[in-house]
Structure 1
Amino acid sequence: MAVAQLTLDPAFRIAPVDPRLFGSFVEHMGRCVYTGIFEPGHPEADDDGLRTDVLDLVRELGVTTVRYPGGNFVSNYRWEDGVGPRGDRPRRLDLAWRSLESNAFGLNEFMRWSKLAGVEPMMAVNLGTRGVEAAAELVEYCNLADGTAAADLRRKHGVAQPHDVRMWCLGNEMDGPWQIGSLTADEYGRLAARAGHAMRRVDPSIELIACGSSNSGMPTFAAWEATVLEHAYDQVDYISLHTYYDPEKFDEASFRASAVDLDGFIDDVVATADHVRAKKRHSKRIKLSLDEWNVWYQSRFTEPEDRGIEETPALIEDDYNGTDAVVVGNLLISMLRHADRLSLGCQAQLVNVIAPIRTEAGGRAWRQTIFHPFARTARLARGTVLRPALTGPSMSTGRFGDVPAVDAVATHDEQTGEVSVFVVNRGTEPVPLSLDLRAFPKHRLREHVSLTADRPEPVTRQPTEEILLPPVSWHALCLAPEESM
């Protein structure tokens, strides 16, 4: 039986853990909002119609930031439709998903929900059917205290204090032909630069995220990022990445190794951004925002044109299994491994739509399998990310060739001394794991939590010196100084 050897050292530093890696995404799509986080009349709803059972699960999940309101929805979004007295709000046809939007839940409801959930909001502006003026006015409505038309309108709507939104996405997937108002890289780059300039005039402290390619398979991938940053480098702080992994698109081994693809995707975008930096002689380094990622059975998706117009249709409510949870855990390992440049992350989406949380209208809310690795990683990843020295067996995949069967990353909390190790066995054979703790001589294994493809509920194992990684399994190992145990 091949053995994996993992060596930890506090000197193998990558970067501090940014809590905003553990974000999520709420879009006006399907049942994410309506009967997801918002359902007036539900037995668990508060006076504002917010489902408290879902809020409890969101807090347990450990989400730190939430992107809103889209997604494809944002490219024909009129933010003014969702503010003010609910009875005065118009019903609109959402062109992205061909559904009826009541606007019963809008901007101020989302901000109220965010405070209750304990998350930081990330807003997106419409650069599809609208542009610079609407984007700047939305920042004004959200972030200025008073004395201007938009700020005073917010106060008129019963919100005295500014929402103080720091993170702003400059549109969504603007290279995609499915997007309402899609653009070429030159068109979008110029628009993003103009919008960013105006938005910073309203509030110079905001952080701006430019749209990268919709996915790495786009024919313009990398050229799109380079062109957009040529235009907008001065204005933006981040460029976005979107990626989904379909269990039915590739052979099973390649799906289990999806994090190999994410590693390469991140490295390619970093290289492209740094090329533009060198070319333009910039000192600032662009960071990355992985603001849409997940496992998605995308090959089963029905296109909007193939459906009738409905209100709150049930869209892409995928049921996840144990292998999906192991892959999500591995994707989180990849994200932490790139913490030196990847600072923001949003798993898409939070409730019902390819989500860790599911609900029944009028009924219960529950955790899907992918909930568990996210919640554990968000809770345990503290301090500084460490790069383990890892050796072990390989596995064969149809898409990536031979890849390591075992993948891992670690974090070190300098304040408590605790070390968390996140490990995945992507292969179909059990692998013993040996920990070399010579740089942490006083540390002992305090807790070992795992899940497997066959048993996706977290299991707390008795800590022992011998650790066995079952086939297709994810693990969180907590190491603590002897004196704290």
Structure 2
Amino acid sequence: MAQNAKVTVHPAYKVGEISERLFSAFLEPIGTMVNGTMFNPKHPTADEQGFRRDFIDALKKTKVPAVRLPGGNFVSAWQWKDSIGPRDQRKVHLDPAWHQYILNDVGHDEYLQWAEKVGTEPLYTVNMGTGTIQDAMDLVEYTNQAGGTYWSDLRKKNGHEDPYDVKMWYLGNEMDGPWQLGSWDKNPEGYGHKVLETSKAIKWIDETIETGVCGSSAPFMEGFPAWDEAVLDKCYDVVDYVSVHHYHTAAPGDTKALLGGSLYYEDFINTEIAMIDYVASKHRSPKQVMLSFDEYGAMQRPLQELHPGYGRYNMARNHYRFDPERRYILHDPDNMPERQFPGGDMINALSMASIQLALLRHADRVKIGCMTGGLPALAASNHDHVWRAASHYVFMQLMKYAKGVALDAKVESETYDMPGYAIEDTSQYTGKEGVNYIDAASAWDEENNRLAVFVINRNEESDYPLTVDLKGFEGYKPTGAYKLHTNDLELKNTYENDELLMPEEEKDYTFENGEFKLYVKPLSWNVYVFEKE
């Protein structure tokens, strides 16, 4: 039996307001996400635009607040003007970022109209690789201007009378990445100046919008965080967010490193916040730029061969290779390969939830969070069906209960050490000492007198006797306790049974003198809700 663990929450431990956009998703036309899942004109549920209504209906029920679209690396050479109007007149292009054909069956209007059908806010990414300032201006005018101009009237002609009123615009994607078309890896000041002029121009077209500038694509980037600083120093006064991405990786079976990966996210966030505030001080600016963590994920991947002396900072060299045998892929939405990930639902749900808790703990500055696998997490799918994986239930509980303000949940528990490791040359992790087995975050909806505490047990073997100290919340009592746990880590929900893994009510607890006590299962997700009468 493990030693007692304790989580203390108090109304004085406020971190910051929780944005509705914090639990959002990301969409890009690679793999089956667009071609096959979102769009398949041959699917039995396809609507008049070719969208799968089963997928739309499933997402609509979740009320996912926002989706970043249409990419991703895809947008670095995408010509949006060739994706509008009658489909049979649209231009087909090559997508060098992903070595695929872009048929533009799903174009600018379709992405935004799909978002309308789902009932989610589109967060739009602009081509700042091969795209120009004028392209971005025309795009915003086409999208948001009511009428009376060439581009806005063309939108009406193309079938959408009202403006889409898109509020959030990302100016590029991973612009420090040599894998991008038009990368600014070697010239951050140039990119920062382009963002300055682009953001200024599109805000003069629609002064209600917000814009985001790209920060580092990962904490492993050679220029991090100096690249970010150089960019932001050029455009601080005209942007609202810094956009960052990270994908945490651990070796198969190394669950401690996988679930401890949220600490690297926090390191990344803390560094970016310090960089932003340093630039603000240089500009003598009272403005506070926020963070958008709009691509993130966690995965298990075998350790790769390392090349001593080749170094960890060789992303550019790795992406300046040319394979004469490589061919462009033409995707058929009705004949897409199924993607099968190893292992069951539980570890994947926990690894993603651990990152979401890290974002929640920084809700004062992280205002947008778009899980890369957020749409399949909410609505898993294959060629024929849609169902709820275990991640669906976790995501839904966060959207439901993480309201109001984030609180700093003080954790006391047994700890473990994570030795440093390298997945490959560019993904190298320093070790971490004293990692709590209990991972926690909290949200207080003061207006509705509701407190939620979220707990992950990272321990693979032991139940934990856990105390949640609520003495500062006088009059609050438990109104709901839920746990998600399985002894079979290979278990997966399916279309035939998507309730194999779902939270169940926890009834075996005590509550006395402001202390909520119970045992938490190993490798489990737990939610405790308290309300004031």
The one of 318, 343, 367 equivalent to 1:343 is: 367
Q: Distance in 2 between matches of 1:464 and 1:153?
A: 62
Deviation at 1:297, TM superposition (A): 4.6
2:257 and 2:373 map into 1 onto residues whose CA distance is 23
Unaligned runs of 5+ in 2: 305-318, 420-430, 489-500, 511-516
Q: How does 1:351-390 map to 2 (within 5 A)?
A: 351=375, 356-361=378-383, 363-390=384-411
Using the TM superposition, give the Cα deviation of residue 298 of structure 1 relative to its aligned residue in structure 2, in angstroms: 6.1
Pairwise CA RMSD = 2.3
Residue type of the alignment partner of 1:405: Y
Aligned runs of 1:425-436 on 2, under 5 Å? 425-428=457-460, 429-436=462-469
- Equivalent in the alignment of 1:403: 435
Paired residue secondary structure (1:263): helix
Paired residues of 2:251 and 2:303 also in contact (CA < 8 A): no
Deviation of 1:329 after TM superposition, in Å, equals 1.2
1:445 matched to 2:478? The reply is yes
Q: Which residue of 229, 240, 244 maps to 2:243?
A: 240
Which structure 2 residues correspond to residues 53-452 of structure 1 after superposition, within 5 A?
53-183=54-184, 184-248=187-251, 251-297=254-300, 308-312=327-331, 314=337, 318=341, 321-351=345-375, 356-361=378-383, 363-398=384-419, 399-428=431-460, 429-452=462-485
Amino acid in structure 2 at the alignment position of 1:424: I
Q: Which residue of 1 aligns with 2:528?
A: 477
Structure 1: tracts of 5 or more residues without a match: none
- 2:239 and 2:486 mapped to 1: Cα distance? 41
How many residues are matched?
479
Higher mean Cα deviation, 4-13 or 116-125?
A: 4-13
After superposition, the Cα gap between the structure-2 partners of 1:248 and 1:314, relative to the gap in structure 1 and judged at 3 Å, is farther
Structure 1 residues 94 and 111: alpha-carbon distance in aligned structure 2, compared to 1, 3 A threshold: same
Aligned mates of 1:71, 1:441 — CA distance in 2: 47
Quote how far apart the aligned CAs of 1:292 are. Answer: 0.3
Q: Deviation of residue 351 (structure 1)? A: 4.5
Shift of 1:259: 0.9
Letter in 2 for 1:287: M
Report the AA paired with residue 518 of structure 2: I
User: What's the counterpart of residue 507 of structure 2?
Assistant: 462
After TM superposition, give the deviation of residue 113 of structure 1 in Å. Answer: 1.4
Deviation track 1:417-451 (CA, whole Å, cap 9, x = no partner) reads 11111111112322111122222232222222222
Q: Bigger shift: 4-13 or 120-129?
A: 4-13
1:30–1:111 CA distance, 2 compared to 1 (3 A):
same
Residue 135 and residue 453 in structure 1: after superposition, are their counterparts in 2 closer, same or farther (change >3 A)? farther
Counterparts of 2:34 and 2:19, CA distance in 1? 27
CA distance in 2, matches of 1:367, 1:385: 27
Distance verdict in 2 for CA 1:250–1:126, change over 3 Å: farther
TM-score by length of 2: 0.85
Distance 1:219 1:230 in 2: 18
Question: Which segment drifts farther, 125-134 or 48-57?
Answer: 48-57
Q: Distance in 1 between matches of 2:253 and 2:217?
A: 20
Residue 452 (structure 1) shift:
3.1
Q: In 1, distance between residues paired with 2:340 and 2:214? A: 26
Which one-letter code corresponds to 1:401 in the other structure?
A: E
What's 2:311 paired with? Answer: none
Letter in 2 for 1:420: A
Please give the alpha-carbon distance, in whole angstroms, between the structure 1 residues aligned to 2:403 and 2:18: 6
Q: For residues 197 and 235 of structure 1, what CA distance do their matches in structure 2 show?
A: 6
Query: 2:290 and 2:372 mapped to 1: Cα distance?
Result: 20
> Residues 33 and 323 of structure 1: is their aligned pair in 2 closer, same or farther, counting only changes over 3 Å?
same
2 CA distance for matches of 1:162 and 1:451? 43
Q: Using the alignment, how far apart are the partners of 1:351 and 1:409 within structure 2? A: 23
Q: Which moved more, 1:92-101 or 1:55-64?
A: 55-64
State whether residues 338 and 382 of structure 2, in contact with CA within 8 Å, keep that contact through their aligned partners in structure 1: no
Q: Which moved more, 1:211-220 or 1:442-451?
A: 442-451
The answer on whether the counterparts of 1:246 and 1:299 sit within 8 Å (CA) in structure 2 is: no
**After alignment, is 427-436 or 124-133 more displaced?**
427-436
1:213-264 CA-to-partner distances (Å, cap 9, x unmatched) read 1101101111011000111101110001101122328943221201111111
8 Å contact from structure 1 (residues 326, 452) kept in 2? no
TM-score relative to the length of structure 1 = 0.93
1:311 to partner: Cα distance = 2.1
Q: Do the aligned partners of 2:258 and 2:299 also contact (CA within 8 Å) in 1?
A: no
DSSP 3-state at the match of 2:245? strand
Q: d(CA) in 2 for partners of 1:241 and 1:315?
A: 29
Task: Report if aligned partners of 1:114, 1:120 keep a CA contact under 8 Å in 2.
Answer: yes
Displacement over 4 Å in runs of 4+: 297-301, 303-307, 313-317
Letter in 2 for 1:86: R
Asked if the contact 1:296–1:318 (Cα under 8 Å) also holds between the matched residues in 2, the reply is no
- SS of 2:295's partner is strand
Match in the other structure for 2:26? 25
Tell me which moved more, 214-223 or 83-92.
83-92
Give the conservation status (yes or no) of the 8 Å contact 2:216–2:227: yes
Distance 2:172 2:246 in 1: 17
Q: By how many angstroms is 1:340 displaced?
A: 0.6
**Matched residues in 1 for 2:214 and 2:339: separation?**
23
3-state DSSP class of the match of 1:246?
strand
Change (3 A) 1:166 1:271: same
